[in-house]
């Protein structure tokens, strides 16, 4: 089982919509690096849901409910989508600012390459983030 971080602009698709839909497909990724990570996602993998721009915080978790398939929003077979299911809302938002200040998280793609919309999270990073949520 793997951990990931997926990014969404709340203006496009926010956490409230995710919660209401319960399940949705994650499409529209047009970046090879992100696409390659999506292809590695398996059912049951946990994705941290990050809100860019306005919030700049991780707000909860979703679970992969279907592994990659051709992105239905384009004819171009280069691109893929996955299905994700709502899991839970964090007790508090974990802000980018705090992530940057936390030891052990400075190597995260989110910190080093903020433009990558899908990125892997290591088990130890996941654990540190869980601790931040509980603290």
Q: Give contact residues for DNA (rule: CB under 7 A).
A: 7, 9, 31-33, 52-53, 56, 96-97, 100, 110, 112-117
44 vs 70, beta carbon nearer DNA = 70
39 vs 97, beta carbon nearer DNA = 97
Residues facing 69 on adjacent strands = 81
Residues facing 58 on adjacent strands = 50, 94
CA nearest 65: which of 47, 89, 40, 82? 82
113 vs 131, beta carbon nearer DNA = 113
Cβ 103 to DNA, closest distance in Å? 17
Cβ 29 to DNA, closest distance in Å? 10
Cβ 94 to DNA, closest distance in Å? 13
């Amino acid at each position: 089982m793997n951990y990931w971080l997926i990014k969404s602009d709340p203006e496009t698709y926010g956490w409230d919509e995710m919660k209401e839909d319960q399940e949705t497909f994650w499409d529209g990724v047009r970046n090879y690096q992100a696409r390659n990570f999506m292809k590695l996602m398996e059912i049951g993998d946990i994705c941290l849901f990050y809100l860019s721009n306005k919030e700049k915080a991780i707000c909860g978790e979703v679970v992969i409910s279907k592994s990659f398939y051709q992105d239905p929003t384009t004819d171009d077979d280069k691109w893929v989508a996955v299905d994700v299911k709502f899991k839970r809302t964090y007790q508090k938002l974990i802000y980018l600012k705090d992530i940057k200040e936390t030891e052990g998280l400075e190597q995260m793609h989110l910190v080093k390459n903020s433009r990558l919309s899908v990125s892997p999270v290591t088990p130890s990073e996941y654990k540190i983030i869980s601790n931040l949520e509980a603290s």
